[in-house]
A = this chain, B = another copy of it.
Amino acid sequence: MSTATLLISCPDQQGLVAKIANFIYANGGNIIHADQHTDLSAGLFLNRVEWELDGFNLPKDVIAPAFEAIAKPLDAQWSLSFSDQLPRLAIWVTKQDHCLLDLLWRQQAKELPAKIPLIMSNHQKLAAIAQQFNIDFHHIPITKETKIAQETKQLELLKQYDIDLVILAKYMQVLSPDFLSKFPKVINIHHSFLPAFAGAKPYHRAYDRGVKIIGATAHYVTQDLDEGPIIEQDVSRVSHRDNVQDLIRKGKDLERIVLSRAVRLHLQNRVLVYGNRTVVFA
């Protein structure tokens, strides 16, 4: 069953649910999922609607222009996706393989509706995994001096492979504001602690602090490092029996699960960003 999914946000006003539902109904569509949220403090209407393409009267390439006639007067931001057009992902890694392997396994197990034609890394270490999964691997080493030039190369590769979404699966480099302005669709995974530990060696500092819980956060990347809109988070209990290596091991388990969940939510078009926050229609 192929479906179309509309994600839309606009200033709240009366009749928005009706307008969108009528558009789909008038064209013969059957809605199988509709979820709406109103952020009363922001005065914002946010909506996700998914309907069957089978029996829908509008051809796929006409839906967007037809809907624009409705959306424009509402001052809406919206996007339209089709379940039979699989997004193309690039996974970026450095040396750690746990998130990469988890994503690749889930894509093979059909848990992630996407194609993964490209793995990029600033190291050679994980090339064998790419080969094993028959995915092109590009080694793009980064130094302070080469960063600007290499980002240009990275952008070319993203274009060449027609990539829709970059996943930083433990990619230990910061993307420049210039890169992000040219390719803004990037998801990152980041360890998180209660309380937070800025700076280097966070697991060592969490251990020294004797925390009882560690966490991980998957978020869209913005120019404020690790401060982009949060898609998904989770935590694990730890105790004094866990040494720094145990915290790192448990952290890796969290990272791979939280990142995979976030990527899946994104690929199912369940995440709507507004301000620096998200609505997740899960």
Contact = CB atoms under 8 A, between A and B. Distances in A.
Given A35-B35, A215-B213, A208 B276 contact: yes
A182 B195 CA distance: 27
Interface stretch (A116-124, A170-178, A236-244): A236-244
A209 interface: yes
Contacts of A149: none
Interface stretch (A23-31, A65-73, A139-147): A23-31
Interface in A33-49: 33-41, 46, 49
Contact of A196 (B21, B195, B226, B239): B195
A211 interface: yes
A235 B235 contact: yes
Interface in A225-282: 226-227, 229-235, 237, 239-241, 243-244, 249, 253, 257, 275-280, 282
A20 B81 CA distance: 25
Contacts of A36: 31, 33-35
A213 B241 contact: no
B210 A230 contact: yes
A16 interface: yes
A200 interface: no
B209 A37 contact: no
A193 interface: yes
A268 B221 CA distance: 36
Given A132-B132, A209-B276, A239-B280, 10 more contacts: A12-B30, A17-B49, A18-B25, A31-B38, A34-B34, A195-B226, A195-B227, A210-B229, A210-B276, A235-B235
